[in-house]
């Protein structure tokens, strides 16, 4: 991966983000950390915004986002035009949201997913290609919903 991965978390996802960040660093995957940089309380919509805007602008290829459950930051990310975020806590969903939905943001919950699984899901998400083909039509329809 040549473009960096965008990382962001609120306080509930901070520790999981840090575990994934260290893994990316150890494996040489470029990333940009948009915060939070501490475990102090902050709001997941604020944390999602900068990371997702970097993906939409092409500054980052994908985003890995974290909050307590993964749900709030996923909902926030999906409000940003051009983002297709999914909240995953299992390998099948993390893989197939890339293969079939061309998701560009993976959201995980620090109170749901442990660091070992979180690192595995992040790697799976970052390294799984979009299959295109019949799935492109569906992604196009999904993205057309942004204008409704």
Rounded Cα–Cα distance for residues 90 and 5 (Å):
20
Catalytic, 100? Answer: yes
How far is 68 from 17, CA to CA, in rounded Å?
11
Among 52, 60, 67, 107, the one annotated catalytic = 67
* 44 vs 118: CA distance, rounded Å: 18
Q: Please give the Cα distance from 50 to 73 (Å, whole number).
A: 12
Pairwise CA distance, residues 117 & 1, whole Å: 21
- For the chain, give the longest Cα–Cα distance: 44
Catalytic, 42? Answer: no
Positions marked catalytic: 67, 100
């Amino acid at each position: 991966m040549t473009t960096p991965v965008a990382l962001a978390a609120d306080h509930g996802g901070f520790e999981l983000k840090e575990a994934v960040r260290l893994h990316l660093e150890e494996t040489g995957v470029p990333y940009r950390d948009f915060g939070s940089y501490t475990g102090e309380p902050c709001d997941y919509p604020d944390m999602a915004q900068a990371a997702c805007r970097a993906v939409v602008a092409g500054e980052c290829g994908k985003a890995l986002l974290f909050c307590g459950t993964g749900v709030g930051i996923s909902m926030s990310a999906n409000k940003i035009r051009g983002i297709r975020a999914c909240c995953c806590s299992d390998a099948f969903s993390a893989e197939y949201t890339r293969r079939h939905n061309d998701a560009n943001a993976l959201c995980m919950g620090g109170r749901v997913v442990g660091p070992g699984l979180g690192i595995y899901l992040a790697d799976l998400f970052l390294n799984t290609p979009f299959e295109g083909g019949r799935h492109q039509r569906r992604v196009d329809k999904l993205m057309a919903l942004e204008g409704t």
